[in-house]
Amino acid sequence: MEKRELLYEGKAKQVYATVDPDLVIQYFKDDATAFNAQKRGTIVNKGRYNNAISASLFRYLEEHGVPTHFVRTLSEREMLVRRLEIIPVEVVVRNVIAGSLAKRLGLSEGRELPRPILEHYYKNDALGDPLINPWHITVLGFASEGELEEINRRALQVNDSLRTFLQPRGLILVDFKLEFGRFQGRLLLADEISPDTCRFWDAASGEKLDKDRFRFDLGNVESAYAEVHRRICGVA
Ligand code: UDP
């Protein structure tokens, strides 16, 4: 499938048109940003790892009843996906206290939650993706009541499925961010699922194997992405 014009360029990906108006190509870059793009850098081969990891996880989720935008892998850095109308809400699912939850509520990182917490953020870079609640989403018209109900149900289903998949691979799913979009009257899971958008901790050592290594200059950033890729995609 041939790449046509660049439709959108984000922090970690580019989106290209194709001949088919219903399909676009996601190209995964090595660029990394953190703290609302105040910190910028490159993680060598991140684009290759995130493309492969996302493809494996989207395939697994589809097989387990979660509709996604994923169509097929095109190359080391490209996947073909359905062209959606993105809902401007980022859904965060948390299983273990970390990141902004720990900071905002003054909690120490690492405590396992008795059940998952769902959070919603307004997808708006200029505003730094502010935390919002279901009232903002429905009253301001970001999504309908029905869509929000489906988004929340799907997010929890994704959490259950991913935890089941990751557990035998020795990875703890601490938290992650999802995006959804509308396609021909259906709600599809969009974007990517990777160490950029998830916190993965090694089950045995508790070592962080995700973008926190970049955010906090913990070192061994590339090798953490490579390790997650090895465990999820099953290659050395
Ligand atoms: N996350 C993301 N994109 C964002 C914000 C968060 O992918 O714009 C992911 C992040 O990698 C983590 C989860 O969502 O896995 C929860 O992030 P948190 O709210 O703790 O914010 P952070 O401290 O990562 O900024």
Are both 6-82 and 85-220 of the same fold?
no
Specify the fold of 85-220: D-amino Acid Aminotransferase; Chain A, domain 1 (3.30.470)
What residues are in contact with ligand 1 under a 6 Å CB criterion? 92, 98-101, 129, 175-177, 197-199, 211
Contact 55, 73 (CB under 8 A): yes
Superfamily of domain 6-82: Phosphorylase Kinase; domain 1 (3.30.200.20)
Question: Of all atoms in ligand 1, which is nearest to the CA of residue 103?
Answer: 23
In the reported structure, the alpha carbon of residue 121 is separated from the centroid of ligand 1 by a whole-number distance in angstroms of 10
CA distances from 151 to 55, 137, 157, 222 (A): 21, 12, 10, 32
pLDDT digits (tens, 9 = 90+) for 139-182: 999 999 999 999 999 999 999 999 999 999 999 999 999 999 99
Which residue's CA is minimally distant from atom 3 of ligand 1? 197
pLDDT digits (tens, 9 = 90+) for 67-90: 999 999 999 999 999 999 999 999
Contact 70, 64 (CB under 8 A): no
Does 236 have pLDDT greater than 60? no
Question: Of all atoms in ligand 1, which is nearest to the CA of residue 196?
Answer: 11
pLDDT digits (tens, 9 = 90+) for 178-233: 999 999 999 999 999 999 999 999 999 999 999 999 999 999 999 999 999 999 99
CA distances from 173 to 21, 66, 78, 131, 199 (A): 35, 18, 25, 21, 6
In the reported structure, the alpha carbon of residue 143 is separated from the centroid of ligand 1 by a whole-number distance in angstroms of 21
In the reported structure, the alpha carbon of residue 74 is separated from the centroid of ligand 1 by a whole-number distance in angstroms of 27
In the reported structure, the alpha carbon of residue 90 is separated from the centroid of ligand 1 by a whole-number distance in angstroms of 10
Question: Of all atoms in ligand 1, which is nearest to the CA of residue 34?
Answer: 25
Which residue's CA is minimally distant from atom 5 of ligand 1? 177
Contact 156, 65 (CB under 8 A): no
Mean pLDDT (the chain) is 97
Does 131 have pLDDT greater than 80? yes
Question: Of all atoms in ligand 1, which is nearest to the CA of residue 102?
Answer: 20
Q: Which of 174, 177, 192 to mutate to test the pocket of ligand 1 (most atoms within 8 A of CB)?
A: 177
pLDDT digits (tens, 9 = 90+) for 32-52: 999 989 999 999 999 999 999
- Amino acid type, 108: S
pLDDT digits (tens, 9 = 90+) for 110-121: 999 999 999 999
- Parse the chain into domains and list their residue ranges: 6-82, 85-220
- The H or E element that residue 73 is part of is strand 70-75
Does 235 have pLDDT greater than 90? no
Q: Which of 97, 174, 197, 213 to mutate to test the pocket of ligand 1 (most atoms within 8 A of CB)?
A: 197
Contact 12, 31 (CB under 8 A): yes
